[in-house]
Amino acid sequence: MPEIQRGQLHKMRSRLDNPVSYAMVLGEESVPLNSLLGKTLSLEFLGQINCVHCGRNSNKSFNQGYCYPCFQKLAQCDSCIISPEKCHYDSGTCREPVWGDEFCMQDHIVYLANSSGLKVGITRASQVPTRWIDQGAVQALPIIRARTRQQSGFAEIIFKQHVTDRTNWRNMLKADVEEINMKEERDRLLGLCEKELIELEHQFGIHAISILNGVEPVSITFPVQQFPEKISSLNLDKDPFVEGTLMGIKGQYLILDTGVINLRKYSGYQIALGST
């Protein structure tokens, strides 16, 4: 099969078009993917993994692309990234305070999304709508703006009493999920969480937590020709060569007629991409 490009794999780039426009990133090059729908693709793992941060060779990828030393020392790999309410920046123990200033001590959005059903999540304001696309959400609605990542994490915990923060990736890939009235769900949840949100506002100050009014839901359409009837995961660690007809792209997944593959999982892997 003719080779298109090879290089170190990174998460796919996306743009909110109708449908979403995707590009596979291999080294310094980006390969547009939407035009490859319906064509046969091959992905070959070339046996080398390089850390997405420092570039060193690694026998194993940690936290979607990092070598073990970077995984241990970088703030972006700390447990507070998964659990932002555990942020310890104010305690003076952040692994990288300068990085924390740039990424954590910035405005964050608490949002509702419809990926495999209704969920709540948080993201940096600058990551809207990329975060929603990466999760395979077909609808999304910002509901709160917080001044820091930690504050958004505390707000998310309040909402998690009533709605999940997880995406069922298998259900997300089976078909487009049923449409939800996002405004009704926002109003319902804000009503249920009103007391706790007021307490959070008192804790951090009146300008720390702001409910977003007048914001319209965002609808997202993905480039999918056919959803799989059965979800079968392709694994480059077990089989370094995968091939199939590209039937769709959703989230960070390629949907092939031979199975689905989460490209973000293999960030840092040296990959050769082919197509006919």
Instruction: Quick: pLDDT tens for 4-16.
Output: 999 999 999 999 9
Q: State whether 40 and 149 are in the same domain.
A: no
Amino acid at 24: M
Domain span at residue 57 reads: 3-67+222-275
The last residue of one of the domains, among 175, 197, 219, is: 219
Instruction: Work out the pLDDT band at 206, boundaries 50, 70, 90.
Output: confident
pLDDT at 100: 93
Q: What is the mean pLDDT of residues 157-173?
A: 96
Q: State whether 154 and 95 are in the same domain.
A: yes
What residues pair up with 108 in beta bridges, in sequence order?
A: 124, 146
pLDDT at residue 177 greater than cutoff 80: yes
SS3 for 137? coil
H-type helices in the chain, by residue range?
68-73, 79-82, 97-103, 130-134, 149-159, 169-174, 182-192, 194-204
Instruction: Work out the pLDDT band at 1, boundaries 50, 70, 90.
Output: confident
Q: What is the mean pLDDT of residues 216-242?
A: 96
Residues with Cβ within 8 Å of 12's Cβ and at least 6 positions away in sequence, in order, are 22, 23, 24, 25, 33, 249, 252, 263, 264
Q: Is the peptide bond before 69 cis (omega within 30 degrees of 0)?
A: no
User: For all residues of the chain together, what is the average pLDDT?
Assistant: 96
Q: State whether 23 and 127 are in the same domain.
A: no
User: Using N-to-C axis directions, what is the helix angle for 194-204 and 182-192, rounded to 10°?
Assistant: 70
Q: State whether 57 and 83 are in the same domain.
A: no
pLDDT at 252: 98
pLDDT at residue 102 greater than cutoff 80: yes
Q: State whether 212 and 231 are in the same domain.
A: no
Q: What is the mean pLDDT of residues 140-149?
A: 97
Q: State whether 114 and 137 are in the same domain.
A: yes
Q: State whether 89 and 31 are in the same domain.
A: no
pLDDT at residue 36 greater than cutoff 80: yes
Q: State whether 111 and 215 are in the same domain.
A: yes
Percent of the chain beyond pLDDT 90?
94
Q: What is the mean pLDDT of residues 15-36?
A: 97
Report d(CA 22, CA 136) in Å as an integer.
Answer: 13
What residues pair up with 218 in beta bridges, in sequence order?
A: 140
171 in Cβ contact with 135 (< 8 Å) = no
Q: State whether 90 and 203 are in the same domain.
A: yes
What's the domain count of the chain?
2
Neighbours of 270 (CB within 10 A): 19
Entry pTM: 0.94
pLDDT at 212: 96
Report d(CA 180, CA 13) in Å as an integer.
Answer: 27
Q: State whether 96 and 201 are in the same domain.
A: yes
pLDDT at residue 176 greater than cutoff 80: no
Q: State whether 129 and 203 are in the same domain.
A: yes
Residue 2: enclosing H or E segment and its boundaries?
none
Instruction: Work out the pLDDT band at 61, boundaries 50, 70, 90.
Output: very high
The last residue of one of the domains, among 182, 204, 219, is: 219
Q: State whether 59 and 23 are in the same domain.
A: yes
pLDDT at 14: 98
